[in-house]
C-alpha cells in the first residue's frame, strides 16, 4: 500500500483540519485550471496552503493556487481545493486522490469537480461547458487505478459500481439552473476521457479517443471521482472546453496551456454563478428527489 493513502493518515489530516476551522463542510469543490475563482466566492474564507497540511501533496502547476479554502457558499459549508494534483506531476494515483478521502472523513457528502479539457466532439466550441455524464479512464486500462492495492472497507467496498458515477439528479439540476440563468446555449453533456499527460494528445490519439466515444479529453477528475464514489459521495463534474483538440493533419493549430487559462478567465464568472446556484439548491434537491 502506498504510504500516503492509509486510513490513519487520512484521519489525521482530517482531524488536523477540523481542529483549525469551525467550518464543517458538506460540499467539496475542486477547481481546475483557471477556475480557482470559485474559492474566492466563499464567505468568511479560511485558507491553508497545501504545503502546511500534514500528508498533503503539493500542487506544482501554473494556474493552480495550491490552497484549501473553507467557508460558506450560499449558506452551505464548503471546502474548496484551489488547484489539484495530477499524474503528470509524478505522484502515485493514490496520492492525487487523497484529498477526496480527507473530505469524506470531514463530513463532505457532495463533490463538485471542474476541469479544463480539450474538445473532441466537433459540435463543441471553445468556451462550451460540458457536464460529465460518464468517463473513460485510460490509465485504468493499464492498471493505474486509485483503488489498486489492499481495499480498506472503512472507505468502501472492494469492487465499487461506476455506472452511476456522475449523479443524474445533479446533472438535471445543472441544466435547470443553466436554463434559468440563460446559459443553455453553451452547456453540453458528454463523456470525458482522462489521460496521463503532461504532453497534449497527438492527432492520432484524438481521432482514436473520439471514435471510442469521448467528447472531451483531459488529465484529471476521473481518478478523484472513482475515489469519491468508492467512499459514497455524490459527484458532479464540469469540463470547460478550453481548446478544440486538433483532429486534422492540415491544421496549423496547436494546443497550449495559455489558451486553457485564457478561456477559463472568459467563462469563469458564469461557471461560478452556475455552481453557486446549484450549491444553494442542493438540500432542497436531494430532499425532493
Catalytic residue flag (residue 88): yes
Alpha-carbon radius of gyration of the chain: 18
Cβ atoms of residues 233 and 286 within 8 Å: no
Rounded CA-CA distance 62/202 in Å is 22
Point out the catalytic residue in the list 6, 33, 59, 242: 33
C-alpha distances (whole Å) from 29 to each of 69, 77, 109, 158, 220 are: 10, 11, 11, 26, 14
Catalytic residue flag (residue 116): yes
Catalytic residue flag (residue 86): yes
C-alpha distances (whole Å) from 110 to each of 22, 90, 197 are: 19, 28, 27
Catalytic residue flag (residue 220): yes
Point out the catalytic residue in the list 6, 64, 117, 174: 64
Catalytic residue flag (residue 33): yes
Catalytic residue flag (residue 64): yes
Point out the catalytic residue in the list 219, 228, 231, 268: 219
Point out the catalytic residue in the list 121, 220, 242, 245: 220
Point out the catalytic residue in the list 89, 201, 224, 272: 89
Rounded CA-CA distance 227/238 in Å is 17
Catalytic residue flag (residue 243): yes
Catalytic residue flag (residue 289): no
Point out the catalytic residue in the list 65, 88, 205, 259: 88
Catalytic residue flag (residue 62): no
Point out the catalytic residue in the list 257, 262, 285, 286: 257
Point out the catalytic residue in the list 111, 116, 117, 233: 116
| Secondary structure of residue 115 in the 3-state scheme | strand
Catalytic residue flag (residue 145): no
**Which residues are the active-site residues?**
33, 64, 86, 88-89, 116, 219-220, 243, 257
Amino acid at each position: 500500500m502506498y504510504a500516503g493513502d492509509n486510513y490513519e493518515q487520512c484521519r489525521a489530516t482530517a482531524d488536523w483540519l477540523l481542529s483549525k476551522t469551525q467550518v464543517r463542510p458538506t460540499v467539496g469543490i475542486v477547481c481546475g485550471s483557471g477556475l480557482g475563482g470559485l474559492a474566492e466566492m466563499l464567505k468568511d474564507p479560511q485558507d491553508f496552503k497545501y504545503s502546511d497540511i500534514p500528508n498533503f501533496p503539493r500542487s506544482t502547476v501554473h494556474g493552480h493556487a495550491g490552497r484549501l479554502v473553507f467557508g460558506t457558499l450560499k449558506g452551505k459549508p464548503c471546502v474548496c481545493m484551489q488547484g489539484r494534483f495530477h499524474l503528470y506531476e509524478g505522484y502515485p494515483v493514490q496520492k492525487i486522490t487523497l484529498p477526496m478521502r480527507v473530505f469524506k472523513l470531514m463530513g463532505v457528502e457532495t463533490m463538485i469537480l471542474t476541469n479544463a479539457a480539450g474538445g473532441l466532439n466537433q459540435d463543441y466550441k471553445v468556451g462550451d461547458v460540458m457536464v460529465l455524464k460518464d468517463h473513460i479512464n485510460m490509465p485504468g486500462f493499464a492498471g493505474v487505478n486509485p483503488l489498486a492495492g489492499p481495499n480498506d472497507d472503512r472507505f468502501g467496498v472492494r469492487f465499487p459500481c461506476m455506472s452511476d458515477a456522475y449523479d443524474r439528479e445533479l446533472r438535471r439540476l445543472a441544466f435547470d439552473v443553466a436554463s434559468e440563468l440563460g446559459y443553455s446555449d453553451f452547456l453540453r453533456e458528454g463523456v470525458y476521457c482522462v489521460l496521463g499527460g503532461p504532453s497534449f494528445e497527438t492527432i492520432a490519439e484524438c481521432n482514436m479517443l473520439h471514435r471510442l466515444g469521448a467528447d472531451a479529453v483531459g488529465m484529471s477528475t476521473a481518478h478523484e471521482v472513482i475515489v469519491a464514489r468508492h467512499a459514497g459521495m455524490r459527484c458532479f463534474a464540469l469540463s470547460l472546453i478550453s481548446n478544440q483538440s486538433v483532429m486534422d493533419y492540415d491544421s496549423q493549430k496547436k494546443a497550449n496551456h495559455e489558451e486553457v487559462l485564457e478561456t477559463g478567465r472568459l467563462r469563469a464568472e458564469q461557471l461560478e454563478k452556475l455552481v453557486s446556484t446549484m450549491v444553494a439548491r442542493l438540500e432542497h434537491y436531494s430532499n425532493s428527489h
